[in-house]
Amino acid sequence: MKSVKWLYVSALAIAFGMLSFGTIACHDDDDDPKPEEGEVIETPKPVVEYYIMGTVTSKGVGKNGVTVKVGDKNCTTDADGKFSVTESNVGTYEVSVAPNGYLSQKTSVTIADNAENRSVLTVAFALTEESQKTEVKLDEMDEPVKIEDSSASNEAIPTKTEDFGKVEPENVVEDIPLAKVEMEIPKGAIKEENQTVSGIVDDGKVEISVTTFVPAPQEVVTEVEPAKEESVDKGIPLAAAQFKPDGLQFEKENPVIISIPNPIPGIAFPDDYMQLTYLNPESGKWEVERQEDNKKVEVSLDDNNNYKAPVTHFSAYAIENIVNSKIEKEVIQKDEALGQASRDNSENAKAVTGIVLKYTEKAGWDYVGDIAQIIKNALGSDAPEATVNAMAAYLKTRMYSLMGSTSGIVTTERTYNTVNVNGYTEMNYTCYAKTRTTTLTTKVIYNGQTKTISISAKRYTGTDQQYKTVTYNPTHSGGKGGSI
């Protein structure tokens, strides 16, 4: 009996001791100091910037020291003919160049309301020296008068079809005219009494010039719909020319004939893919030249392998070939990081400040694949070298007009933001390139058959900035308090 009582008392004593220990332990834990809260310092939002970049060239070479007007700002090209302007506001900016002795050029650049921050727009101007004027005396025109392009910028351009195709594809200069324009003025085509511009013909004489040039793109806009894919037919000049004096009128029944040599030996373009356009002085846009019945003015290939078209007044004209331009959806290049940074501050309460996040921006475009091989695959491996070379020159100058600048990638060091990493926080930053692919498709007639040839180019359109922070709760090992 005593043994049972002893066991009972002992059990009570043990239970009481454990209860006391548990109470004391919990009490001691409540007296420990709480973990220190992490320091929080706000990081400012990245500065909103848009970049308008471009080049000014002459005869395929960058032109130094040219003044470029962008909106209400003036900038000057560097030794490579490059210029760059940073804008902070959306809207349309007129961009123009007008050096003495050269044809002036201008375009408009539009940064749309919903343009992404750090969007890049590129534009190019190919300057051409003006041709010398030729005096034409109306009473001495006993036979048609030919006026040729005498621009010093265009001296190296061939004038006969058999002279094209001597430049290999890798040496093609993209931003010079493909062929030179000339004109033939029939006897009696100009009458002084029929001119609508006073003084344009003076004392039976008129000074005339023709200057072949590469027009600047009509407009450059930000890609505002990343998911959009579009395919459009566009007329691109085989050759464009400025005819002076502006507004000179010709008899409708006796028009002036403008012409260019066919620039691709062995190749012709389907008739319905050719057109004549003119630069409307009122709208500033290129428009299809039409007859009184609204039909297109015909562009024909004559027996001497020259493309010809009639005109009844002077303006800037272009003999164009229609091509198809397909622009694919914008793609984030996850395999092409332009900048990276990280900071693990997850075990420190104090914030880390002044971390500069930088990236190497890419702008411009380049070809996809071997153009010469693409041409041979379309025409046949036995296609003559001159035909392949001339076709490559045609495609490259077409792509220049589509893309609005010469091929090549330009890199620029940029700062995305200066950030602070708060206490108990981990930061990761990666900048990826964004690109779009443009495919140019043209139809040609080769050996009596219609052939389709396509080439592609990849353009860098901007960046995808991935900035993320994760804050950890120090009271729970490995717990996450949130992310930004």
What is the pLDDT averaged over residues 428-441? Answer: 96
CA distance 447 to 251: 39
Residue 122 contacts residue 53 (beta carbons within 8 Å): yes
**Cα dist from 433 to 232, 359, 437, 467, whole Å:** 26, 10, 13, 14
What is the pLDDT averaged over residues 48-64? Answer: 92
The SS3 assignment for 299 reads coil
The SS3 assignment for 138 reads helix
Contacts of 458 (CB under 8 A, 6+ apart): 365, 366, 368, 435, 436, 437
Does the structure show a pLDDT above 90 at 378? yes
Instruction: Identify the H or E element spanning 146.
Output: strand 145-148
Does the structure show a pLDDT above 50 at 316? yes
What is the reported pTM? 0.85
Burial of 472 (0-12, 13-18, 19+ CB in 10 A): buried
What pLDDT sits at residue 149?
96
Contacts of 26 (CB under 8 A, 6+ apart): none
Taking the C-alpha atoms of 111, 115, 118 and 124 in order, what is their torsion angle to the nearest 10 degrees? -40
What is the pLDDT averaged over residues 266-274? Answer: 95
Q: Which two tokens stand for residue 191?
A: 């009458």
Of the candidates 39, 38, 43, 41, the residue with the CA atom closest to the CA atom of residue 473: 38
Which residue spans within 61-142 are E strands per DSSP?
A: 61-62, 67-70, 73-76, 82-87, 91-97, 105-111, 120-127, 134-137
Percent of the chain with pLDDT strictly greater than 90: 74
- Three-class SS string for 210-239? EEEECCCCCEEECCCCCCCCEEEEEEEEEE
Say whether the peptide bond before residue 158 is cis (omega within 30 degrees of 0): no
Among 41-50, 52-61, 106-115, 451-460, top mean pLDDT goes to 451-460
Q: Which two tokens stand for residue 82?
A: 């490059």
Q: Is the dihedral of CA 186, 192, 197, 198 positive or negative?
A: positive
What pLDDT sits at residue 219?
83
Does the structure show a pLDDT above 80 at 22? no
At residue 34 the predicted structure's pLDDT band, cuts being 50, 70 and 90, is: low
What is the pLDDT averaged over residues 203-220? Answer: 92
What pLDDT sits at residue 8?
44
Of the candidates 136, 200, 115, 119, the residue with the CA atom closest to the CA atom of residue 414: 119
Residue 264 contacts residue 391 (beta carbons within 8 Å): yes
Residue 211 contacts residue 128 (beta carbons within 8 Å): yes
pLDDT tens readout for residues 109-147: 999 888 888 888 889 999 999 999 999 999 988 899 999
Question: Euclidean distance between the first and final Cα of the chain, in Å?
Answer: 72
pLDDT tens readout for residues 383-433: 999 999 999 999 999 999 999 888 999 899 999 999 999 999 999 999 999
What pLDDT sits at residue 223?
58
What pLDDT sits at residue 295?
92
CA distance 350 to 346: 10
Better-predicted residue by pLDDT, 334 or 476: 334
Max CA separation in the chain (angstroms): 153
Region at 209 (left for phi over 0; alpha for psi -120 to 50; beta for the rest): beta
Number of H helices, E strands in the chain: 3, 27
What pLDDT sits at residue 165?
96
What is the pLDDT averaged over residues 141-163? Answer: 93
Query: Which domains are present in the chain?
Result: 128-324 (2.60.220)
Better-predicted residue by pLDDT, 358 or 284: 358
CA distance 254 to 461: 49
What pLDDT sits at residue 476?
58
Q: How many CB atoms lie within 10 A of CB 252?
A: 12
At residue 380 the predicted structure's pLDDT band, cuts being 50, 70 and 90, is: very high
Does the structure show a pLDDT above 60 at 481? no
Provide the CA 2 distance to its chain's centre, in angstroms.
103
